[in-house]
Amino acid sequence: MGAYSFVDLLRHAFLGPDAAKRAWQERPLKDRYDAIIVGAGGHGLATAYNLAARHGMRDVLVLDKGWLGGGNTGRNTVTIRANYLREESIRFHAEGLKLWRELSGVLGYNVMFSERGQLDLIQTWAKLRDVKRRQSTLRLAGVPFDIVSPAEAKARVPILDLDEPKRLPVLAATWHPTAGIARHDAVAWGYARAASALGVNIVQNCEVRSITRAGGKVAGVETARGRIAADKVALAVSGHASVLAATADLRLPIETVPLQAFVSEPLKPILSCIVNSPAQVYLCQSDKGELVIGGGSDPVPSYVQRGDFTTIERVTAHLVELFPILGRVRMLRQWAGAIDLCHDTSPIVSKTPVEGLYIDAGWGSGGFKAIPAAGREFADLIAKDMPSDLIGGFALSRFERGRPLYETAGASNRD
Ligand SMILES: Cc1cc2nc3c(=O)[nH]c(=O)nc-3n(C[C@H](O)[C@H](O)[C@H](O)COP(=O)(O)OP(=O)(O)OC[C@H]3O[C@@H](n4cnc5c(N)ncnc54)[C@H](O)[C@@H]3O)c2cc1C
C-alpha cells in the first residue's frame, strides 16, 4: 500500500524534492463525517487506516490537539513483547508480534522493526515464582519464554555486572527471543501516510473540547474550530481519556501518571537485546547507538509531561548498580509522557454506555507494542459495533461485573 506512484518518483527525480508530495494531507474540515477519531497517535492513526483499508470507511476524520505522533507514541521506549501472564493479554500481544513483522510491507514504509529479544533480570524470590507461572501459561500459548541462569544472562549481556554485591542479587533471568523494537515516529508517519492515501483526513492543532450527544447517542465533537457531527466517535487519547470521557458523563477507572525516559549519547554497539530489571530500570540500544532508558512511573498522579527528579535519580542509581560501566556515560535528554493506568493494569478497548462512543485507553506503559493489533481490532469494533474475541476481555463492562483482568506483566509493571 504505497502513497507514491511511479510518476511521482520520476517527478521527484527530475524536478527535485520540492515537487515531492507531503506524506499525508490535511484537507479542509467538513461539518460531518461517518466517524471521528480523537488522537493522532499510533492507536488513532492505525484505527483510521484499518477503518479505511478493512471496512471501506473513508469518510473518517482524525483530530489532534497537538502534532501527529507528539503524544506517547513519540515519547515511548519502543519495547515490543508478548511475555504477559493472562491468556487474554498473551493472545492479543502474540498476534501483535505477527503484525509487527509484516507492518513495513503492509504500510509500504520502513518502521524499522527489529526482533532482538528481551532479557528480564529476576531479583526477588517472589518474582521468580511469578515468572515460573508465566512460563507455563506462555508455553501453553506457544510464546517462547525461558528461565535462564545468571551466567547465561551475562553471556547475552556482557556489560551486566554480577561480581559486585548488589542490594538485590540477580537470581535468574528470563529470555523472550521474539521481543523487539521499532522506530516510533516512523510508525505514526507510516500509518498516517497510508490512511491519508485512502482518503482519511488528519487535522492537527485542533483540540476536542467535548463530546456532543443527542438523545443519549453520540452526535459529534465540539472542537477549538467548531462543532463537527458524526454518528461514531472513537477516543484514542492515551493519558487524556478520562478527561474527555467525562464530557460525556462517563467515569473511567483510569489514573494518569507521568512516565519518564532518558537517552544517552551514542555509543558503539554494546547491547544487542532489551534488558529489563522489572519496576527498576530497562534499556535497549537504538540503531543510532543511543541507550534508550526507562524505569518505573512517577509516584504522584499528574498530567505533566516532565517528570520529577527523584525518579531520574532512582532509575539511574539502578542502572549504574547493574551496569557500572555506564557510570560515566552522558545523557542527551530526558522527557516524560502522561500514561493512563487502569487499576487492573489491563487496557480498555470497548464500546461504552453512550451509543456510538468507543474507547481505546488504559495501555499505561505498554501501548506502543499494541498499535498494529489494537488499531485493527478497534477499527473492527467501530465498524461492526461488536468486539472480536481478541479484545473481548478488554471491555469496559468488566469493572461493572467485578471481573478485572489483573495482569502482573502489564501496563505499569514496566516494559
Ligand atoms: C516514557 C514512556 C515509555 C514507554 N515505553 C513503552 C514501551 O517501551 N513499550 C510500549 O509498548 N509502550 C510504551 N509506552 C506506552 C505507549 O507509549 C502508549 O501506550 C502508546 O503510545 C499510546 O498510544 P496512543 O496512540 O493511544 O496515544 P498517544 O500517542 O499519546 O496519542 C494520543 C494523542 O491524543 C491527542 N489528544 C489528547 N487529548 C486530546 C484532545 N482533547 N483533543 C485532540 N487530541 C487530543 C494527543 O495530543 C496525542 O497526540 C511508553 C510511554 C511512555 C510515556
Domains of the chain from N-terminus onward: 6-78+184-253+344-400 (3.50.50.60), 114-180+255-342 (3.30.9.10)
Q: Is the pLDDT of residue 133 over 90?
A: yes
Rounded CA gap, 159 and 174, in Å?
Answer: 17
More confident residue, 2 or 14: 14
pTM for the predicted model, two decimal places: 0.94
pLDDT in tens, 235-256: 999 999 999 999 999 999 999 9
Give the pLDDT score at 167: 86
Which band of pLDDT confidence, cut at 50, 70 and 90, is reported for residue 219? very high
Q: Contacts from 217-222 at CB under 8 Å and sequence distance 24+?
A: 217/354, 217/355, 217/356, 218/248, 218/354, 218/355, 218/356, 218/357, 220/32, 220/36, 221/36, 221/38, 221/63
The string of pLDDT tens digits covering residues 161-172 is: 999 888 889 999
Residue 3 confidence class, pLDDT cut points 50, 70, 90: low
Ligand 1 centroid to residue 41 C-alpha, Å: 6
Ligand 1 contact, 66 CB (< 6 A): yes
Establish whether residue 118 lines the binding site of ligand 1, counting it when its CB lies within 6 angstroms of any ligand atom: no
Give the nearest ligand 1 atom to 368 CA: 11
What is the tens place of the pLDDT at every residue in 107-120? 999 999 999 999 99
Q: How far apart are CA 334 and CA 44, in angstroms?
A: 25
Q: Which of 50, 62, 67, 72 to mutate to test the pocket of ligand 1 (most atoms within 8 A of CB)?
A: 72
Beta bridge partners of 295: 281
> Is 18 a residue whose pLDDT tops 90?
no
Q: C-alpha cell of 83?
A: 511475555
- Give the span between the Cα atoms of 414 and 73, in whole angstroms: 16
Span 294-342, pLDDT tens digits: 998 888 898 888 888 899 999 999 999 999 999 999 999 999 999 999 9
Task: Give, in degrees to the nearest 5, the angle at Cα 34 between 33 and 39.
Answer: 70
| pLDDT at residue 205 is higher than 70 | yes
Alpha carbon distance 236, 89 (integer Å): 19
pLDDT of 113 reads: 97
Half-sphere CA count of 90, side-chain side, radius 13 A: 19
363 burial type by CB count under 10 A (0-12 exposed, 13-18 middle, 19+ buried): buried
| Residue among 76, 84, 359, 413 to mutate when testing ligand 1 (max atoms within 8 A of CB) | 76
The pLDDT of 37-51, averaged and rounded, is: 98
Ligand 1 mean position, distance from CA 71 (Å)? 5
Mean pLDDT of 196-225: 97
Report the chain's mean pLDDT, rounded to a whole number. 93
Is the CB of residue 387 below 6 angstroms from any atom belonging to ligand 1?
Answer: no
Of 16-25, 43-52, 218-227, 358-367, which range is least confident? Answer: 16-25
End-to-end CA separation in angstroms for the chain = 31
DSSP code string of 32-80: EEEEEEE--SHHHHHHHHHHHHHH----EEEE-SS-TT-SGGGTS---B
Compute the average pLDDT of residues 395-413.
84
Q: Is the pLDDT of residue 415 over 70?
A: no
| Whether pLDDT at 2 is above 80 | no
- Distance separating alpha carbons of residues 326 and 173, to the nearest angstrom: 21
Q: Mean of the pLDDT values across residues 186-192?
A: 98
The pLDDT confidence band at residue 19, using thresholds 50, 70 and 90, is: low
Tell me, in angstroms, the distance from the centre of ligand 1 to residue 15's CA: 38
pLDDT for the residue 22:
79
Res 162: pLDDT? 94
